[in-house]
């Protein structure tokens, strides 16, 4: 892991008697993509606002691009909020150029950059139309570009995939990868695990304001059990004796017989189950080992966390 | 500074590109002209009322009324058009009333219809007059009859007392020659020029009131648009709260300054063409002795003080409806100084106005309106300092409140608003 672009140490945020973020610590490595995951109300937006310097933590320490106060490095940060909107009567070019100029770009350069980004993203034909006449997807793309036009070193995207159709989601994934390729640090929050699984080098999972996981996607997957599927004309009760299995569920299989789905205990080899099944003379017609997805890990890790 | 200017320019252009901006530039002078000429236009467009006069005193009063109703100039509309009383002559006032009353009651424009009937009869030493009119709401005819008949009555009495017509004319022409002097007036003799500073100060106060009134709506809407569309959250990651607030205030100030520049140029042109002497005097008063600087000081200070308040309130509103509910009480507060401003023209040294000048929300209006009284330098400096200190205090406490409001998504709550002002923390 390279030097950290963002560091949070023991950060807590309270609103009156309510603790939104509780003793949160993690680091986002420079030039990498970090997924900031958690169910709704987990404290993601509050954490992002603290990283951006929009709200002060109740306690703890935050460092962004080497500065304890993000406002000192505003020009190097790009931000897309969860709830989106732009000046409805402005054109995409003007809106992007205006927000980029607030980040320190010269107005003429900002306009040039806005035009080039819009052309690149297939919005060339719409660049001089008022934003209110654009589709929702197009407007969201314009807003994303307005967060990126000044080529920030740190990009923070709050739920960037929400409201986008599959094509635009794919296009956004490509943009995020491109940012990381350029060397920018990307932190994005989401509760849709597929995006994080495809994009992230590192994920931090929050639940009830607390960190419940901090590591790589592969490590996160390790928190969830692997699943074994066995199918055949056998008695489901006979499967319960097999070693390493727990949480068995059986149902009728499509082609006759039964399908048993079970979690494989951590460290238990799948081949031992297969060997034991053959030893018992079970007629196994399908034996499938399913590796867990991030989604499974998310469910496991957030279960039992305070709401 | 660059960010402030960029925010100000964006807001300025956003307003200048709206139809409403151009309508406000054009419609205000048109509206003022219509307002100014409305009375004359009404008079010219409506025909003179048809009035029948029946005089049982021998015709003297009918003659006096005819003269009073006639137009002073051939091109002017007469006050009333005397028409013969249909069915006359009448044997007595009761018969005249019985015959003419239905004609007054009939629809206007019908054959023989009357707008009014005046029946004059002797009464004791004088006369009694019955005026029947269709338009009871218009007092002008009654006033004209009262004046003409009163003059005639007086004339009759004086003639009976031995005063002949020539003497009567000479007496009527008598008028005292009054000359007003003041130690403050140029050459000690009071002229219109000496009243101009008071009028200019009053006009500046009214102008400030209009600017704050119109600017308030613009500022509130601008902040609400950015807050409800979450642009404000993005802007807060690009600029500081004072930069955003100042940029927005300056943007709207530039919009109102543009409108005012057009209006004032137009007004100055009309004034210099129609009343060149007054225009020259006004220019001389404003541009010598620091009067323009004095007025601008309180104009700018007053605008900043109120604008800061409106921007902060806007950040706490999610919709224009919420803002409207807050605008009402704020406008009432803003209207209070206007009630005292007109008094300042005639009584600029009133102790009450001097005291109110030290209350910040009154300061810009009172000090502008008191310009004619030439307040002492220490009072000008003190009230101005207090006004700017209030604005600075507003910015200091309102900055975090603005941020807190900008990031919140709930409804406006007075408790939350004041709590954020008081706590001064996010």
Of the candidates A89, A84, A87, the one whose C-alpha atom is nearest the C-alpha of residue A163 is A84
Looking at the fold, whether B153 and B238 belong to one and the same domain comes out as no
Show the domain range for B411.
192-425
Q: Residue B425: its pLDDT value, please?
A: 44
Side-chain-side CA neighbours of B303 within 13 Å: the count stands at 26
| Block residue for tokens 């989106």 | A84
CATH number at residue A232: 3.30.70.1340
**Chain B neighbors of A74, CB-CB under 8 A:** 237-239
Looking at the fold, whether A202 and A246 belong to one and the same domain comes out as no
Give the single-character DSSP code of B41: H
- CA A170 from chain centre, in angstroms, equals 14
ipTM of predicted complex: 0.80
Looking at the fold, whether B197 and B231 belong to one and the same domain comes out as yes
Looking at the fold, whether B169 and B199 belong to one and the same domain comes out as no
Looking at the fold, whether B152 and B209 belong to one and the same domain comes out as no
Looking at the fold, whether B120 and B254 belong to one and the same domain comes out as no
Q: Last residue of some domain: A186, A206, A221?
A: A221
Helix residue ranges per DSSP H, chain A: 44-51, 92-102, 107-120, 136-148, 166-182, 193-199, 217-222, 236-239, 270-279, 294-302
**Chain A neighbors of B425, CB-CB under 8 A:** 56
Looking at the fold, whether A240 and A203 belong to one and the same domain comes out as no
How far does A136 lie from chain B, in Å, by closest CA?
Answer: 13
C-alpha gyration radius of chain B: 31
In a domain, B6, yes or no: no
Looking at the fold, whether A180 and A100 belong to one and the same domain comes out as yes
In a domain, A255, yes or no: yes
CA dist., res. A292 & res. A288, Å (int): 13
Of the candidates A292, A297, A291, A290, the one whose C-alpha atom is nearest the C-alpha of residue A203 is A297
Would you write out chain B's pLDDT as a tens digit for each of its 426 residues? 688 999 999 989 988 888 888 887 888 778 877 877 877 777 777 778 889 999 998 888 998 888 888 876 767 777 788 888 888 788 999 999 998 888 887 776 677 788 899 999 998 888 999 999 988 888 888 898 999 999 889 888 888 888 887 888 888 888 888 887 777 666 666 666 777 777 888 888 888 888 887 777 778 877 777 777 778 888 888 888 888 888 988 898 898 888 888 888 988 898 888 888 888 888 887 887 778 888 888 888 888 888 888 877 777 777 777 777 777 787 787 788 887 887 777 777 788 888 888 998 889 888 888 877 778 889 999 999 999 998 888 877 777 777 777 776 555 555 655 665 555 544
Write the DSSP assignment of B121-181 as a string of letters. Answer: EEETTEEEEEEEES-TT--HHHHHHHHHHHHHHHHHHHHHTT--HHHHHHHHT-------B
Show which residues on chain A lie within 8 Å of chain B, measured between beta carbons. 49, 52-56, 70-71, 74, 77, 79-81, 83-90, 98-99, 101-103, 107, 146-147
**B144 within 8 A of B152, measured Cβ to Cβ:** no
Per residue in A205-252, pLDDT (tens digit) is: 888 889 888 888 888 887 778 888 888 888 888 888 888 888 888 888
**A27 within 8 A of A4, measured Cβ to Cβ:** yes
**φ/ψ bin of B298: left (φ > 0), alpha (ψ from -120 to 50), beta (otherwise):** alpha
**How many domains does chain A fold into?**
2
Residues A54, B238: C-beta atoms closer than 8 Å: no
How far does B252 lie from chain A, in Å, by closest CA?
Answer: 16
CA dist., res. B6 & res. B240, Å (int): 13
Of the candidates A125, A121, A170, the one whose C-alpha atom is nearest the C-alpha of residue A147 is A121
Q: Which two tokens stand for residue B23?
A: 């309508």
CATH number at residue B169: 3.40.190
Helix (H, G, I), strand (E, B) or coil at A221: helix
Q: Give the global pTM.
A: 0.74
Long-range contacts of B35-43 (CB under 8 A, 24+ apart): B43/B77
**Close Cβ partners of A14 (under 8 Å, ≥ 6 residues apart):** A20, A58
In a domain, B29, yes or no: no
Q: Which residues pair with A35 in a beta bridge?
A: A188, A203
Q: Which two tokens stand for residue B112?
A: 């023989």
Q: At what angle do helices B140-160 and B165-172 cross, to 10 degrees?
A: 130
Looking at the fold, whether A252 and A205 belong to one and the same domain comes out as no
B403 touches chain A (CB under 8 A): yes
Q: Last residue of some domain: A195, A221, A247?
A: A221
How far does B221 lie from chain A, in Å, by closest CA?
Answer: 12
Q: Residue A288: its pLDDT value, please?
A: 87
CATH number at residue A64: 3.40.50.300
- Main-chain dihedrals φ then ψ at residue A258, nearest 5 degrees: -125, 160
Show the domain range for A258.
226-291
């Amino acid at each position: 892991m390279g030097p950290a672009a963002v560091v949070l140490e023991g950060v807590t945020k309270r609103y009156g008697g309510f603790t939104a973020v509780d003793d949160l610590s993690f680091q986002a490595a420079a030039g990498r993509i970090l997924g900031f995951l958690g169910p709704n109300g987990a404290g993601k937006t509050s954490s992002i606002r603290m990283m951006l310097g929009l709200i002060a933590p109740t306690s703890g320490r935050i460092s962004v691009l080497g500065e304890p106060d993000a406002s000192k490095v505003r020009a190097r940060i790009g931000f897309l909020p969860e709830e989106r909107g732009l000046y409805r009567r402005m054109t995409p070019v003007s809106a992007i150029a205006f927000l980029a100029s607030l980040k320190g770009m010269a107005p003429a350069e900002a306009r040039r950059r806005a035009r080039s980004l819009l052309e690149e993203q297939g919005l060339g034909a719409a660049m001089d139309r008022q934003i209110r006449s654009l589709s929702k997807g197009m407007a969201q793309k314009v807003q994303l570009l307005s967060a990126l036009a000044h080529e920030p070193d740190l990009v923070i995207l709050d739920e960037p995939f929400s409201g986008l159709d599959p094509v635009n989601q794919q296009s956004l994934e490509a943009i995020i990868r491109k940012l990381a390729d350029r060397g920018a640090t990307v932190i994005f929050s989401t509760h849709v695990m597929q995006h994080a699984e495809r994009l992230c080098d590192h994920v931090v999972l929050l639940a009830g304001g607390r960190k419940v996981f901090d590591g790589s996607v592969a490590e996160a997957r390790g928190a969830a059990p692997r699943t074994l599927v066995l199918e055949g004309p056998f008695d489901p009760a006979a499967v319960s004796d097999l070693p390493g299995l727990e949480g068995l569920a059986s149902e009728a299989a499509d082609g006759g017989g039964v399908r048993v789905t079970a979690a494989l205990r951590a460290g238990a080899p799948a081949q031992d189950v297969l060997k034991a099944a053959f030893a018992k003379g079970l007629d196994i017609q399908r034996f499938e080992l399913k590796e867990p997805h991030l989604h499974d890990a998310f469910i496991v890790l957030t279960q039992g966390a305070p709401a | 500074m660059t960010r402030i200017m960029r925010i100000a320019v964006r807001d300025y252009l956003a307003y200048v590109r709206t139809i409403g901006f151009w309508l406000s530039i054009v419609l205000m002078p048109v509206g003022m002209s219509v307002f100014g000429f409305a009375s004359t236009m009404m008079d010219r467009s409506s025909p003179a009322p048809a009035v029948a006069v029946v005089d049982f005193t021998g015709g003297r009063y009918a003659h006096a009324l005819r003269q009073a109703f006639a137009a002073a100039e051939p091109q002017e509309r007469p006050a009333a058009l005397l028409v013969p009383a249909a069915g006359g002559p009448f044997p007595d006032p009761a018969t005249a009333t019985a015959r003419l009353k239905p004609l007054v009651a009939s629809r206007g424009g019908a054959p023989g219809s009357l707008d009014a009937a005046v029946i004059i009869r002797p009464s004791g030493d004088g006369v009694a007059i019955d005026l029947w009119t269709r338009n009871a709401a218009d007092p002008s005819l009654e006033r004209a009859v009262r004046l003409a008949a009163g003059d005639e009555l007086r004339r009759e009495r004086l003639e009976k007392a031995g005063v002949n017509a020539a003497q009567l004319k000479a007496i009527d022409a008598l008028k005292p020659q009054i000359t007003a002097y003041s130690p403050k007036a140029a050459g000690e003799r009071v002229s219109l020029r000496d009243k101009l500073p008071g009028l200019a100060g009053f006009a500046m106060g009214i102008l400030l009131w209009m600017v704050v009134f119109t600017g308030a709506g613009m500022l509130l809407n601008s902040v609400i648009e950015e807050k409800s569309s979450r642009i404000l959250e993005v802007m807060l990651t690009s600029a500081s709260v004072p930069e955003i607030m100042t940029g927005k205030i300056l943007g709207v100030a530039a919009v109102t300054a543009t409108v005012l520049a057009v209006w004032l140029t137009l007004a100055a042109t009309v004034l210099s063409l129609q009343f060149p002497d007054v225009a020259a005097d006004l220019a001389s008063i404003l541009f010598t002795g620091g009067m323009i600087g004095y007025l601008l000081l309180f104009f700018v200070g007053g605008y900043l003080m109120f604008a800061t308040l409106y921007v902060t309130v806007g950040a706490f509103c999610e919709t224009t409806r919420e803002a409207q509910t807050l605008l009402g009480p704020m406008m009432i507060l803003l209207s209070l100084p206007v009630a005292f401003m007109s008094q300042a023209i005639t009584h600029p040294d009133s102790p009450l106005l001097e005291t109110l000048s030290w209350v910040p929300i009154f300061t810009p209006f009172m000090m502008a309106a008191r310009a004619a009284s030439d307040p002492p330098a220490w009072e000008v400096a003190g009230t101005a300092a207090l006004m700017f200190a209030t604005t600075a205090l507003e910015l200091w406490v309102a900055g975090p409140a603005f941020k807190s409001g900008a990031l919140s998504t709930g409804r406006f709550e007075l408790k939350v608003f004041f709590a954020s002002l008081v706590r001064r923390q996010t």
